[in-house]
Amino acid sequence: MSATRSNDIPAIELRGLCKRYGSGDTAVDALKGVDMRIAPGEVVGLVGPSGSGKSTLLKSLGAVIDPTAGQMFLGGEAIFDGVWKVNDLRTLRRDRIGFVFQAPYLIPFLDVTDNVALLPMLAGKSNREARRRALELLEALDMGHRAKANPSQLSGGEQQRVSIARALANNPPIILADEPTAPLDSERALGVMGILNAMAQQHQTAIIVVTHDEKIIPLFKRIYHIRDGKTYEESVG
């Protein structure tokens, strides 16, 4: 799979992305022309104060809300150019974008394997193939021994690893992670970042991590700072 993801073509590119909520006197310009370029296999931080536009940016990229103007490209394909260029946003989200949230949001009545296998099944894989993929990812995340457990039997860090396996299940070229380490102690937070970095390298996945977490900020080679709807890039080391 990684061989098909060329480094010359950015996994994610945003040009002049704008989002206005509402209209008239009460309009809020949450994104004011955001430019971003992220290569396959790159893990970047997105850091900014409350209200700066982080969630709006992630939701736009995740096709959860409609941007107002600008362009978004995934793997060189324009998915948004003033309007959406893809017909089926649900399929776009399911097959090309993985989400990791602050809370793992696992389905309580499915065991760990089925929580991870669900998305590949929805994408048309057979039960057997989807579960094989789930087990492979759980092994890679050192969760193979908990494959039959229910989410309620896992620690917070273990649940977060399952949610990372779920985000990777359809091998999306992009993962959007919103404060993935916020509820974890230092050791587990660094562990989760280690996993995301390893997965990015192995699968050439581009990952954006929204974070306030001082523990993990030094781990990024590149950080986008966002302030008042505009991004500024910082290269570290």
Supply the minimum distance, in Å, between the C-beta of residue 49 and ligand ATP.
Answer: 7
In the complex with ligand ATP, which residue's Cβ is closer, 56 or 205? 56
DSSP-derived letter for residue 226 is: E
Supply the minimum distance, in Å, between the C-beta of residue 175 and ligand ATP.
Answer: 18
d(CA 103, CA 190): 17
Helix (H, G, I), strand (E, B) or coil at 17: strand
Residues near ligand ATP (CB under 6 A) = 21-22, 28, 30, 48, 50-56
- Burial readout 135-144 (b: 16 or more C-beta within 10 A, e: otherwise): bebbebbebe
Supply the minimum distance, in Å, between the C-beta of residue 215 and ligand ATP.
Answer: 17
* Phi and psi at residue 13, to the nearest 5°: -140, 130
Instruction: For residue 82, give both structure tokens.
Output: 């003033």
Supply the minimum distance, in Å, between the C-beta of residue 83 and ligand ATP.
Answer: 20
